[in-house]
């Protein structure tokens, strides 16, 4: 038999670790939505003094790489301090799983983001976040680093796909260097909007493609 | 994991029947010459006769004349040829507008999109929530510029069979050519050109236990169509290229082997699968029409779970099926068919297509349902959706 994933991915897919919900979790986050495809929820409990993650659980409405990444991320984060856990990258998760197909980066990165968002949620609820900053082109660019280019499995910024970012009165225009009829154009556009729109002072996001 | 291997993706391609393969063999090893003219050498004449014989059988099956049927490399080529050949022949003279449905398979849909770039107008017709095109709505979309309507006989994913006769009548009334992609209905759902006003039909062997790489296009006598492939004078000077005689012979043999009883058996498997899943697994939705439906197709959405996760689990249990989930596709886009019938991402995400063929059994149907019930409940247990809170 020949499966499209590594043995470790299949193992975590078959028997995902730390599945479920933590009632009254100290921090929690939902990344993605049923409307755009995969979705992941992450719940954490934090040791108040040491700021270590004492318990972590996840739920997934997603494909095999999404489930396996959710599973591995809980194993990687458990027992780590928030600052350590924040730094866990998609690459580390992928390596721990024996490698994920590049084209699946976008489904699996969701779990990594779920963890970061759950930590952020904890920090916000516990007064650990500084004041909200005004969105800059730089902040937009940083968010675009979380959007994967499925052609390479690397992010849009690193693969130089972002041609232009315009920021004006709460509206953002992103120009992507890809023909509009490209097979990935639509899913990329959806993902860009999904990443930029939650910024607190942004009201409208548009995505344009080059010819 | 088991050593069972149950193939339920017969809409993608079917296993070749040994009898088909046996029929083809002599044309690889004995009568391997090209089809020569009637004044050629004996082996070439024999090859010619085999090709003519295969053509005659296939044309007759559709109720057509031999000269109205040409061989192609498969359904993709047939649909490309029908759409691009007609628009090339009529585009300058008659008009630059064509109509297709939103849920056509890619050969038709992407041919239409290619024409759009060349300046043709294309109307993409909506369907109802079962995937049916309304002939009256089609009538309203036809303009003085319209030269061709291309609407599939049955859908590749959700299995809905169109009112091909009603659609054909509208086209005939309006004097517009009508092409239908019958890749999935051929031999399973009756289609006779003497009874149904259709001008071009795409068919292929790969869906009926014939070889891949061979298909056909019916072209009603008098239909204006441009030569598709330049080269020699093969296929009535419409499609150049060395004839695929083993393929043509295999195609004709495959058609000969299809029986009504077999089609009824496929339908019984389909009905059992649909009825049992809808009754036994909660939160499931049938995609496509329940009655106007391909006998060999079932397509069901399992809510709150993702299709690739289901297919991978099924694969590990030895079952091969297909899904409309974006995660399974090369483009990372959800099924355009599910979107086309008004479904959302969520419906496409958890949709599974089961397509049956000659080598499936009722025991396999029961086995897949049993495994599915288990898989879906396990995946729902880890899903954040569909819980009471």
Distance CA B186, CA B71 (A): 15
pLDDT digits (tens, 9 = 90+) for A8-22: 999 999 999 999 999
Question: For residue A132, is it within any domain?
Answer: no
Residues of chain B with CATH 3.90.1150.10: 6-15+259-382
Facing A60 at nearest CB: one of B312, B349, B382: B382
Question: Scanning every residue of chain B, which has its alpha carbon at the shortest distance from the alpha carbon of A14?
Answer: B313
Average pLDDT across chain A, whole number: 88
**Catalytic residue selected from A7, A36, A133, A177:** A36
Residue A130 lies in a domain: no
Is B171 an annotated catalytic residue? no
C-alpha–C-alpha distance, residues A45 and A85, integer Å: 13
Domain with CATH 3.40.640.10 in chain B: 18-257
Which CATH number covers residue A163? 3.30.300.130
Q: Which site among A1, A37, A190 would you substitute to test the B interface, given the most B Cβ atoms closer than 10 Å to its Cβ?
A: A37
Residue keyed to tokens 């295999």: B250
| pLDDT for A131 | 64
Task: Name the catalytic one among B60, B122, B240, B327.
Answer: B327
Q: Which residues, 6+ apart, have CB-to-CB distance to B125 below 8 Å?
A: B99, B100, B101, B102, B133, B137, B138, B141, B151
- Same domain for A118 and A143: no
Q: Do A61 and B306 make contact, defined as CB atoms within 8 angstroms?
A: yes
- Mean of pLDDT values over A96-115: 87
Provide the residue count of chain A: 211
Q: How far apart are CA A18 and CA A124, in angstroms?
A: 24
pLDDT digits (tens, 9 = 90+) for A143-171: 888 787 767 667 788 888 999 999 998 89
Look at residue B389 in the predicted model and tell me its pLDDT.
Answer: 44
User: Are residues A119 and A20 both part of a single domain?
Assistant: yes
- Structural domains in chain A (count): 2
| Domain boundary residue, one of A125, A150, A168 | A125
Distance from CA of A92 to the nearest CA of B (A): 22
Q: Which of residues 100-129 of B touch A (CB under 8 A)?
A: 113
Cα A141 to Cα A147: distance, rounded to the nearest angstrom: 10
pLDDT of residue A32 exceeding 80, the answer is no
Local mean pLDDT, 10-residue blocks, chain B (389 residues): 81 98 98 89 95 98 98 98 96 93 97 96 97 97 97 98 98 97 98 97 98 98 94 94 97 98 98 98 97 98 94 96 80 83 86 97 98 97 79
User: In the listed set A125, A155, A184, which residue is the last one of a domain according to the structure?
Assistant: A125
Task: Name chain A contacts of B306, Cβ cutoff 8 Å.
Answer: 38, 61-63, 66
CA distance B189 to B294: 7
For B282, other C-beta atoms within 10 Å of its C-beta total 14
Contacts of A22 in chain B (CB under 8 A): none
Residue A168 lies in a domain: yes
A131 assigned to some structural domain: no
- The CATH number linked to A94 is 3.90.1010.10
CATH dotted code for B18-257 = 3.40.640.10
Which residues on B lie below 8 Å from A106 (Cβ)? 332
Do A25 and A113 fall into the same domain?
yes
At residue A38 the predicted structure's pLDDT band, cuts being 50, 70 and 90, is confident
Structure tokens of A187?
A: 């899913």
Q: Which tokens is B234 given? A: 């093969």
Please name the residue of chain B whose CA is at the shortest distance from the CA of residue A40. B384
Q: Is B382 an interface residue toward A (CB < 8 Å)? A: yes
Residues A166 and A193 reside in one and the same domain: yes
Note whether A38 and A65 are same-domain residues. Answer: yes
Instruction: State the DSSP code for A40.
Output: E
So what's the ipTM on this one? 0.85
Q: Which residues of B touch A41 (CB under 8 A)?
A: 384
| Residue in chain B nearest A68 by alpha carbon | B309
- Interchain proximity B384–A30, CB inside 8 Å: yes
Tell whether A13 is covered by a domain. Answer: yes
Q: Is residue A2 part of a domain?
A: no
Task: Quickly list DSSP for B229-285.
Answer: B-SS-HHHHTB-S---HHHHHHHHHHHHH--HHHHHHHHHHHHHHHHHHHHHSSSEE
Per residue in A57-92, pLDDT tens? Answer: 999 999 899 999 999 999 999 999 999 999 999 999
Residue A84: give the domain boundaries: 7-125
Q: Could you give the CA distance from residue A192 to residue A170 in angstroms, rounded to a whole number?
A: 16
Give CATH for domain B6-15+259-382. 3.90.1150.10
In this predicted structure, what is the pLDDT of residue B2? Answer: 53
CA angle B52, B53, B59 (to 5 degrees): 85
Q: Specify the DSSP element, H or E, that contains B297.
A: strand B297-302
Q: How far is A2 from chain B (nearest CA, A)?
A: 10
Residues A26 and A97 placed together within one structural domain of the fold: yes
If one compares A37 and B237, the residue with the highest pLDDT of the two is B237
Residues A118 and A153 in one domain: no
CB contacts, 8 Å: A62 with chain B: 306, 309, 327
Which residue blocks in chain A are alpha helix, DSSP H? 7-14, 64-77, 82-86, 90-96, 105-125, 137-144, 185-196
- Per-residue pLDDT at B174: 97
Q: Which of A71, A95, A125 is the last residue of a domain?
A: A125
Report d(CA B263, CA B245) in Å as an integer.
27
Closest CA to B11 of B320, B235, B291: B320
């Amino acid at each position: 038999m020949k499966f499209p994933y590594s043995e470790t991915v299949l193992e975590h897919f078959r028997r995902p670790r730390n599945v479920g919900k933590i009632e009254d979790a100290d921090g929690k986050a939902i990344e993605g939505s049923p409307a755009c495809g995969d979705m992941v929820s992450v719940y954490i409990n934090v040791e108040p003094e040491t700021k270590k993650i004492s318990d972590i659980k996840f739920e997934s409405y997603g494909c095999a790489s999404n489930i396996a990444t959710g599973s591995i991320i809980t194993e990687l984060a458990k027992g780590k301090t928030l600052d350590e856990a924040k730094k866990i990258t998609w690459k580390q998760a992928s390596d721990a799983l024996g490698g994920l197909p590049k084209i699946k980066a976008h489904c699996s990165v969701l779990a990594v983001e779920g963890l970061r968002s759950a930590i952020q949620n904890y920090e916000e609820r516990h007064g650990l976040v500084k004041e909200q900053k005004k969105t800059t082109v730089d902040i937009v660019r940083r968010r675009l680093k979380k959007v994967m280019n499925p052609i390479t499995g690397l992010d849009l910024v690193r693969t130089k796909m972002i041609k232009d970012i315009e920021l004006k009165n709460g509206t953002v225009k992103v120009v992507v260097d890809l023909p509009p009829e490209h097979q990935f154009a639509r899913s990329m556009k959806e993902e860009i909007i999904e990443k930029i729109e939650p910024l607190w002072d942004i009201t409208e996001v548009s995505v344009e493609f080059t010819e | 994991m088991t050593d069972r291997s149950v193939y339920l993706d017969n809409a993608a391609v079917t296993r070749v029947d040994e009898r088909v393969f046996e029929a083809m063999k002599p044309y690889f090893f004995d009568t391997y010459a090209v089809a020569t003219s009637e004044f050629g050498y004996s082996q070439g004449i024999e090859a010619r006769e085999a090709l003519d014989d295969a053509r005659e059988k296939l044309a007759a099956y559709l109720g057509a004349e031999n000269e109205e049927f040409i061989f192609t490399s498969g359904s993709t080529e047939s649909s490309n040829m029908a759409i691009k050949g007609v628009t090339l022949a009529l585009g300058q003279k008659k008009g630059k507008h064509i109509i297709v449905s939103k849920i056509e398979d890619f050969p038709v849909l992407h041919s239409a999109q290619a024409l759009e770039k060349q300046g043709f107008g294309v109307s993409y017709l909506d369907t109802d929530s079962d995937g049916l095109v309304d002939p009256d709505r089609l009538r309203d979309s036809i303009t003085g510029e319209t030269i061709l309507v291309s609407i599939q006989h049955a859908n590749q994913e959700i299995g809905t069979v169109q009112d091909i006769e009603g659609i054909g009548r509208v086209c005939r009334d309006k004097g517009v050519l009508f092409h239908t992609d019958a890749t999935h209905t051929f031999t399973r759902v009756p289609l006779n050109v003497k009874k149904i006003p259709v001008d071009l039909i795409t068919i292929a062997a790969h869906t009926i236990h014939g070889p891949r790489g061979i298909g056909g296009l019916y072209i009603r006598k008098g239909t204006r169509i441009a030569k598709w492939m330049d080269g020699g004078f093969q296929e009535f000077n419409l499609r150049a290229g060395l004839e695929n005689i083993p393929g043509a012979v295999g195609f004709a043999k495959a058609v000969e082997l299809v029986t009504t009883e077999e089609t009824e058996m496929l339908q019984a498997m389909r009905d059992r699968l649909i009825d049992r899943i809808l009754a036994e697994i909660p939160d499931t939705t049938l995609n496509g029409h329940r009655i106007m439906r391909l006998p060999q197709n079932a397509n069901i959405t399992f809510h709150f779970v993702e299709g690739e996760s289901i297919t991978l689990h099924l694969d590990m249990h030895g079952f091969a099926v297909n899904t409309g989930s974006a995660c399974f596709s090369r483009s990372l886009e959800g099924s355009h068919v599910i979107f086309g019938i008004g479904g959302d991402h969520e419906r496409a995400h958890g949709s599974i297509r089961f397509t049956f063929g000659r080598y499936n059994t009722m025991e396999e149907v029961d086995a897949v349902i049993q495994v599915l019930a288990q898989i879906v409940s396990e995946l729902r247990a880890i899903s954040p959706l569909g819980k009471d809170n």
